[in-house]
Amino acid sequence: MNVMLQAPAAGMDSSMMWIMLILMFVIMYFFMIRPQNKKQKEIAEFRRSLQVGQSVITAGGIHGVIKEINDNDVMLEIDRNVKVCVDKNSIFAAAADANANNQTK
């Protein structure tokens, strides 16, 4: 019994490997990287558009109304005469949708 080991042909197989590698990167870009970047831009735009009097929800689940906006933090009123200072990054972008749905009911 002879066992012959041969190296794969260098011509077509090598180019096919590169095409598949590039194709996989393109697929990953359109299905993973691009949607994530788009979502991050939407969240950043939401946080830039925060306004005094707007109802929001924080990452910790605290519902409140914005009373004051600074560069990096927001003063929320969560009850009468109870105010909490939270970081802007802890406010959910989905909070605007949830509050809009609750107000229409």
pLDDT single digits (tens) 23-54? 999 999 999 999 999 999 999 899 999 999 99
Q: Are 44 and 36 in contact, with CB atoms under 8 Å apart?
A: no
In this prediction, residue 105 has a pLDDT band, given cuts at 50, 70 and 90, of very low
Give per-residue pLDDT as tens, 52-78.
999 999 999 999 999 999 989 999 999
Give backbone dihedrals phi and psi of 54, rounded to 5 degrees, phi first: -80, 135
Strand runs labelled E in the chain: 55-57, 63-69, 73-79, 82-87
Strand runs labelled E in 9-49: none
pTM, 2 dp: 0.63
